[in-house]
Copies of this chain bind each other. A is one copy, B any other.
Amino acid sequence: MSADITLEELQLAARNHALPLEALRHAITPVGLHYLLTHFDIPYVDEQTWRLRIDGHVEQPLTLTLADLRARPAHTEAVTLECAGNGRALTSPRAPSQPWLLEAVGTAEWTGTPLRGLLEEAGPLPEGVEVVFTGLDRGVQGGVEHDYARSLPLEHALREEVLLAWSINGQPLPPQHGFPLRLIVPGWYGMTHVKWLRSLTVVDEPFRGWQQELSYRMRDSEDDLGQPVTRMLPRSLMVPPGIPDFFSRSRLLDAGPCVLSGRAWSGLAPIEQVAVSTDGGASWHEASLEAPVSDYAWSGWTYLWNAEPGQYELLCRTTDGLGNAQPASPAWNVDGYCNNAPQRVRVVVRPGREPTLAQP
């Protein structure tokens, strides 16, 4: 099966890490298994000299050390993060970028201080419309040299769930997750959660930086300005059952009862349903849904499958409380964003082993 992946795409696939699908077993993803997408290089930051600057159209610009931030009210929240490009490698034609298959996701417990309190202390002036979040990571993308930067509408930046986080799963942020400080915007795709923050700037007109205006937009053609990518569309994934073949990753399973399990999430509304198909999508069965790990994190699901010998293609599909559902097939756009078409898992079920008879 040739995907004709280029050496450039392979370089990105090597340095950007996906969640191995069996790690979906963990409600909270261990550090090192969470997905990672680094646009440029991971900056090497000295905590002693690092400062966060809050400026722009504010009454009182602030300059803060990490100790200043850690002395503020702290909140911990489990948040599911997914890359907006997840699924890109399964679209056709495929945009030349990070070639994610299905696994650019993870759920971590982030600890930080609510952004709202800091913004209120700085005091946005009446003309302020957005906050621009700028990282220490710099490079060239689309021919334009820039520091990685993204903005949020001021009213969204003031929502109570938005955090400036210094900790993941109870540990200081490791370099790859944004040490010493990153933004967390629960429900939104990963590009929003700016890492290695150096400044927050209140601006009086919409931000037009490359990562905001020219990237992360759903475009039907190269000429289309498109709509911005914001919240995560619904997606479900399953832990592939049985044991793998090393190279093909196809699965081998003993016949008998098999609990299929996985996770489902949506940035738009709580998960309401997960359906499972064991016949390539011809028929669907409702899975049992667990309570979500938090208001902003995935929900576990299980489905008891009585696996009989044969060959199968397993799928899962979720619907959220607003009726948003995964589509049957990929919805194409120029840059390959938001492909939440269902995962397909090929399984060979072999006759189960007879229980060993106890000696009389």
Q: Which residues of A line the B interface, CB within 8 A?
A: 1-15, 17-18, 20-23, 25-26, 30-34, 36, 38-42, 44, 89, 96-97, 99-101, 103, 138-141, 145, 174-177, 240, 243-249, 252
Contacts and interface: CB of A to CB of B under 8 A. Distances in A.
A360 B299 CA distance: 63
Of A12, A18, A40, A247, the most chain B CB neighbours within 10 A belong to A247
B247 A33 contact: no
Given A14-B13, A38-B20, A176-B32, A247 B1 contact: no
B44 A25 contact: yes
Given A243-B40, A247-B141, A1 B5 contact: no
A18 B38 CA distance: 13
- For this chain, the copies found in one complex come to 2
Contacts of A39: 246
A6 B2 contact: yes
A326 B96 CA distance: 33
Contact of A252 (B42, B100, B140, B240): B140
Contacts of A3: 5-7, 10
B33 A174 contact: yes
Given A41-B20, A176-B30, A5 B5 contact: yes
A139 B32 contact: no
Given A33-B175, A243-B138, A248 B14 contact: no
Nearest to A9: B5
Contacts of A30: 174-176
Contacts of A177: 32
Nearest to A104: B14
20 contacts: A1-B6, A1-B7, A4-B5, A5-B10, A8-B247, A10-B101, A11-B101, A11-B249, A15-B103, A20-B41, A25-B44, A26-B175, A30-B174, A30-B176, A31-B31, A33-B176, A40-B243, A41-B240, A41-B243, A140-B245
Given A30-B175, A145-B252, A175-B23, A97 B247 contact: yes
Contact of A6 (B5, B38, B100): B5
Nearest to A142: B246
A107 B195 CA distance: 25
A243 B22 contact: no
A23 B30 CA distance: 20
Contacts of A31: 31-32, 174
A267 to B, nearest CB: 22
Nearest to A38: B20
Contacts of A246: 39-40, 139-141
A8 B266 CA distance: 28
Given A20-B42, A31-B31, A244 B14 contact: no
A326 B98 CA distance: 31
Given A1-B8, A20-B176, A32-B34, 17 more contacts: A2-B6, A8-B247, A9-B10, A10-B99, A10-B101, A11-B101, A12-B247, A17-B32, A20-B38, A22-B41, A23-B175, A30-B176, A33-B174, A40-B244, A96-B247, A140-B244, A141-B245
